Homo-oligomer: A and B are copies of this chain.
């Protein structure tokens, strides 16, 4: 058994992801594939367009054998913290041979070189960085220049690619953890990670979400005169996602399960901002006056996106503003992130979906790793590892809490789905018990 790992949000799963999986399988000759994904809230700041179980199933239907959810404290933050949570999840399994990520550059060596320099392994990065900052460069520029100083021949757009940046973070994390996993990169197909338009077979998740969130859905759309308009609009993404996923999305929408976006949480965000106005600076990344400008802006901006547009600046990216707003909504505080950021080992990994091969991976994990493999949160909360380890409790409670906030919105037209209790306590167990309980 040769196990490969993939880190991806599948928000939603599209042809680029499928291509990535196929390329990786060929390059690594792995026999089993585990993917680490975000849960219900994602790295760019905001809710996933469809929930984590649906996205996990999409991955399973397209070549992944086991889907794990990384702890939400990592999944919802900067590239550096996201990478940390993702790589720590794979590392915790202690049986992943290689793992794969996309990059614009597409060659591992240059990316590794940049990571090593920025970790101080070769060159004198810290000194150069400090000098650049003293000279007044913004941090991102200072960092790039300091790394460049010790690299030979680096393409001019190397540090422009957001996937290159993320790739370097993964590689830095491998160094930090002294990991033996082999990193493999696959060149991103034409569409940039953040490109806004759908075209051809490969489109970015951003472009696909833009179509899905722009559908202006009304109740009972499939039985009204709006039906044709809806089908015409959604057909724009038909060639960008696997067929099964395309029809699943239409089916969900026809049942009034709508794709979520940031706007769906705007009212709750406003309430949380006002209600906690005196302590906003305690939330992660909400600093340096952002607490005041957020307080002032949310109460009068027409929409969530207007808040972001108004507050973004040279100093603060849109993602940063979005993450700040969701850190307030979800209650992500400095003191918790300080602990999460400095961990070197995760106490648990969470299973979202698996097939028979995934079951073989789980068996292997139990042989070679001490990590808690959580399939049933209800059972996990009864274990000593949970009750006696405050870090486990902190991470896991936040996973469940943030997920629950998501499902309250996701099922707002279908509260009968919540009648039996919170989704995390029921979803996977129910599905697994139909086969054979894995605990």
Q: From B299, B302, B412, B422, give the contact of A267 (CB < 8 A).
A: B412
Stretch at the interface among A83-91, A357-365, A375-383, A401-409: A401-409
Which one of B299, B301, B421 contacts A300 once the chains associate, using CB atoms below 8 Å?
Answer: B421
User: Distance in Å from the Cβ of A60 to the closest Cβ of chain B?
Assistant: 27
Contact with B along A387-424 (1 / 0, CB 8 A): 00000000001000100110011001001101111100
A405 and B273 CA atoms in complex are apart in Å by 10
Is A270 engaged at the interface, CB distance under 8 Å to the other chain? yes
Quote the shortest CB–CB distance from A309 to chain B (angstroms).
Answer: 15
Evaluate whether A300 and B268 lie within 8 angstroms (CB atoms) in the complex, with A401-B275, A401-B277, A405-B274 already known.
no
> Are A299 and B408 interface neighbours, CB within 8 A?
yes
Please determine whether B275 and A405 come into contact, CB atoms closer than 8 angstroms. yes
A190 within 8 A of B: no
Tell whether, in the assembled complex, residue A330 and residue B275 are in contact, meaning their CB atoms are under 8 Å apart.
yes
Give residues of chain A (308-366) contacting chain B, Cβ–Cβ below 8 Å: 329-331
CA distance A30 to B204 in the complex (A): 73
Q: What is the bound-complex CA distance between A397 and B330, given in angstroms? A: 23
Q: Is the CB of B329 within 8 A of A271?
A: yes
Chain B residue at smallest Cβ distance from A276: B331
- Specify which chain B residues have a CB less than 8 angstroms from the CB of A415 in the assembled complex: 300-302
Size class of the A contact interface (CB-based, 8 Å): 20 to 34
A272 near B: Cβ within 8 Å? yes
**B-facing mask of A269-292, CB < 8 A → 1, else 0?**
011101111100000000000000
A276: B residues at CB distance < 8 A? 331
Q: Which residue of B lies closest to A401 (CB)?
A: B274
Q: Is the CB of B275 within 8 A of A418?
A: no
Q: Are A408 and B331 in contact (CB under 8 A)?
A: no
In whole angstroms, what is the CA distance A277 to B331 when docked?
11
Distance between Cα atoms of A125 and B431 in the complex (Å): 62
A271 close to B302 (CB less than 8 A):
no
Given contacts A275-B401, A300-B419, 20 further A-B contacts (CB under 8 A): A267-B268, A267-B408, A267-B412, A268-B271, A270-B408, A271-B271, A271-B272, A271-B329, A271-B405, A272-B275, A275-B330, A276-B331, A277-B397, A299-B404, A299-B418, A299-B422, A300-B420, A300-B421, A300-B422, A302-B415
- Name 29 interchain pairs, CB-CB below 8 A, sorted by A: A267-B267, A267-B412, A270-B405, A270-B408, A271-B272, A271-B329, A271-B405, A271-B408, A272-B272, A272-B275, A274-B401, A274-B404, A274-B405, A274-B408, A275-B329, A275-B330, A275-B331, A275-B401, A276-B331, A277-B397, A299-B404, A299-B408, A299-B418, A299-B422, A300-B415, A300-B418, A300-B419, A300-B421, A302-B416
